[in-house]
A and B are shown apart, each in its own frame.
Chain A
């Protein structure tokens, strides 16, 4: 069974600093990995999807890397802004049933 871990559960950073969020998973035989953003009381918004054959994906200020062999992914958010305050969830698709397993998320507060 795939286990996805995101530590720390919560963090705060001053505006302008780069954000680094980590995700680890137990089974390296994955199909892909997605990073999502969730605002309070809202659904999830997909930020980046990395296929198992890729090492990284970039979108604007966001960059996500994938190291399957070590079971890790990192989401970088450059020059953080107060609008980046949200919970960021990592999800890994793996297994014969193609199930997407989620971590519990990193709750981020960017302080103006």
Chain B
């Protein structure tokens, strides 16, 4: 079974630039999550999708972050414009259902200079 795929693996941008991350979940997984993990911290939920609908985006800074999950499969997370404090690892995860085991991708390490 293929795992959760994420790209790019690393990204370096200047502040005020825009960036996008891509995630392909495990086939058949209805629930998809985007997390932000700052060094030394646990992951923080940004947005959760159930199929192509948003379940929880209460911690997503909507003035600069946006996410979509077209056709209930792949998802993209965008930051525009980026700030220095957005430097973090962005993790995508998926699960069969809301209360089931999560499977994580390798993450995208973002550095904002």
Contacts and interface: CB of A to CB of B under 8 A. Distances in A.
A34 interface: yes
Given A4-B42, A100-B45, A104-B42, A43 B105 contact: yes
A61 interface: no
Contacts of A34: 101-102
Contact of A99 (B41, B56, B103): B56
Interface string B51-80: 000011010000000000000000000000
Interface string A37-70: 0000111111001000000000000000000000
Contact of A91 (B42, B91, B99, B107): B42
Contacts of A46: 101-104
Contact of B43 (A32, A44, A49, A98): A44
B104 A97 contact: no
A75 interface: no
A31 interface: yes
Contacts of B105: 43
Nearest to B58: A97
B22 to A, nearest CB: 15
Top 6 closest A-B pairs, CB basis? A102-B42, A43-B104, A44-B104, A43-B106, A97-B56, A46-B101
23 contacts: A4-B42, A32-B99, A34-B102, A42-B106, A43-B4, A43-B104, A43-B105, A43-B106, A44-B93, A44-B102, A46-B102, A46-B104, A89-B42, A93-B99, A97-B58, A98-B56, A98-B99, A99-B45, A99-B56, A100-B33, A103-B42, A104-B41, A104-B42
